Amino acid sequence: MFIRALSVAIVVLVAFNPSVSAQSGAPLGFVSKLGSDLDVRSGARVLADELAANKVLLPDREGPVAGGSTVPQIQLRGGNLQVNDPSHDYVQVFSGFRPFVRATQSEVSTAAFGQSIVTTYNDSTGFHVAPNPSGPGLIVDRVRLSSYSVSQDGGKTWTSGSMPPAAGATQTFGDPAIAVDRHGIFYFAQLGTTAGDEHGAIVVNTSADGGQTWAPGAVVQSDDASDKEWIAVGPDPAASNRDNVYVTWTSFQQNACELRFGRSTDGGATWTAKTIFVPTADAIAAHPQNCLQFSNPTVDQVTGALYVPFLRFSNADQDFIQMMMSRDAGETFQLVRFNVPGAPDPTVLPITQPGEFTECGATRLSNGRFSVNLRLTIHGTDNTGPGITGLPRYVQASRMVVQPATAARNNVIYLAWSNSTSLSFGDPTGGSNVLFVRSNDGGSTWTTPIMVNPDVSTDLHHVMPALAIDTDANDVHVSYYTQHLNRTIDLDMANSHDRGATFPLDRTVRVSSTSGTLPPTNIPIPTPSNPFAATNYDRQIAVCYALGEYQSVTSANGTVYVGWGDTRNTITGPVNALDPISGQTHAQQDVLFQKIKVQ
């Protein structure tokens, strides 16, 4: 997600041993990593926490200190289309404040049924501030960060809207995830609030008219510590004529980051919820610890089996993918076994997260000390010099996460993720590739990992994959961002016609027609009281947030649809003496869509 202070972030002032409660001094949602505290919350969770603590924005009193070709069977149908409405972008200007630019749309989830296609995304245009009626400063008077665009003609034309909050609530916090059942009912999961905005909640909206209109959200569970939800729809194993709707998410509790689960058997009208996995700490740093994130459920559309992969953290260089499985519609779960030789547990798949450790701003605390955020990012080349930690500070940066991409059909499970080329966490010399494994027997055994993306000397990173399978059991599609050595970004898609045994070079297609550059998301705004402060050009969006945490690929009607956060478009900021990039033209984020025929 995407609001200020999200990410894998190190706070250097507190020490949190994952084997003890957060009561020892560290806030919820932090894990120990190589001796430092990492913030693994999404920006939505951070935003909710910050709004609760800082309801009034004070003026910026201190100004900044000066100073390859494909086979014929793969065809792009039409060009890239921008689906978010550019007229919705806006800028707010108040005396004494840097401009409030609202021009960030990214973190994309897509579903399709017939000619109806719905693409959902985080959208900063749902943020609005106004003069404080009770005193000085400004207040945030609108938080509607969940948006969607819908097409009723197979992706030719689009209209955009804001997703409704839960009944009786006013706020939505994004983290969009969308799915559709066999009857064409669309389901949208988001982070939101309960009636009266009293508590944080997991919320699901439904649409019965192809995504044109949406009912107020139903609360899956009231959970102030909820974060990073995802949704899946598929047949009940015991009642194959009925589709169940499932949602999983992380709940940050004092002793662990719990994996929680919601289920609806009546089309999203009512929900039951429970905790399905509580990870435990381990005295050995390289073993799995008591925090997890980025679950991504999927339903086998033939058997109804439910699979829930997620990222499990260690306190060393390698982290892990684990997967929960249920064959009784979520009544019971068990961990899938990967049986990797040398792994500390048969249920873990060791990985190294992609990206480099970079410094993304610091906050001066009331005691005069600083908390410093270090994030795993891909980035540009504009380094403003060492920060308070001595690490580089790249102006153009986008955070990296690992959300396992998965699909399943008829007991065959497909799994892809991005993995660093280095065994060292945050290695600045490391690149990254998308890796893939398959199980042919419902998770009992797994193939050896293979690389999905081609090995190209001019490419540096391949990150944040999404995965879809076709009605033809042989066809597997994996889309991902590619960062080149010149630091530009494209969206590519690899295609297998042998169930993922190979991803040939001539079946890999460049989806984006224009490469983009990362926008300025980590701009130094040093002041005498805080020489290490930084801001995103879209100032209430997280520092070092650009592409979001995922993009999407889906298959329907014999066609593949891809939606992603794209940075090819530009915006010119207003001239403002308090703005360190006053009047500059730079990249911004929009949501693009492409229709692809793959045979």
User: Hey, CA dihedral for 101, 107, 111, 115, is it positive or negative?
Assistant: positive
CATH of the domain at 516: 2.120.10.10
Tens digits of residue pLDDT in 377-417: 999 999 998 999 899 999 999 999 999 999 999 999 999 99
> What's the average model confidence in pLDDT over 553-581?
95
| Residue 370 pLDDT | 83
In a domain, 468, yes or no: yes
In a domain, 292, yes or no: yes
d(C-alpha 476, C-alpha 508), whole Å = 12
Residue 163's DSSP bridge partners are none
> What's the average model confidence in pLDDT over 43-67?
68
Q: Give SS3 for 379.
A: strand
pTM of the model: 0.94
Q: What band does 21 get if pLDDT is binned at 50, 70 and 90?
A: very low
> What's the average model confidence in pLDDT over 521-535?
93
pLDDT over 90 percentage in the chain? 81
In a domain, 475, yes or no: yes
In a domain, 246, yes or no: yes
Owning domain of residue 539: 9-598
Could you identify the residue written with the tokens 């998308």? 434
| Residue 48 pLDDT | 72
User: Tokens standing for 475?
Assistant: 């066809």
| Residue 69 pLDDT | 67
> What's the average model confidence in pLDDT over 430-454?
98
In a domain, 4, yes or no: no
Checking DSSP bridges between strand 292-293 and strand 370-379, what pairing results, if any?
unpaired
Tens digits of residue pLDDT in 215-231: 999 999 999 999 999 99
137 DSSP 8-state letter: S
> What's the average model confidence in pLDDT over 502-508?
95
User: Hey, CA dihedral for 167, 171, 175, 176, is it positive or negative?
Assistant: positive
Cα–Cα nearest to 381, from 457, 460, 434, 454? 460
| Residue 36 pLDDT | 67
In a domain, 546, yes or no: yes
**Taking 70 as the threshold, does the pLDDT of residue 200 lie above it?**
yes
| Residue 16 pLDDT | 25
Q: What band does 43 get if pLDDT is binned at 50, 70 and 90?
A: low
In a domain, 582, yes or no: yes
Tens digits of residue pLDDT in 515-527: 999 999 999 999 8
Residues 319, 352 contacting (CB under 8 angstroms): yes
| Residue 64 pLDDT | 54
Q: Give SS3 for 44.
A: helix
**Taking 60 as the threshold, does the pLDDT of residue 158 lie above it?**
yes
Total tally of structural domains belonging to the chain: 1
In a domain, 3, yes or no: no
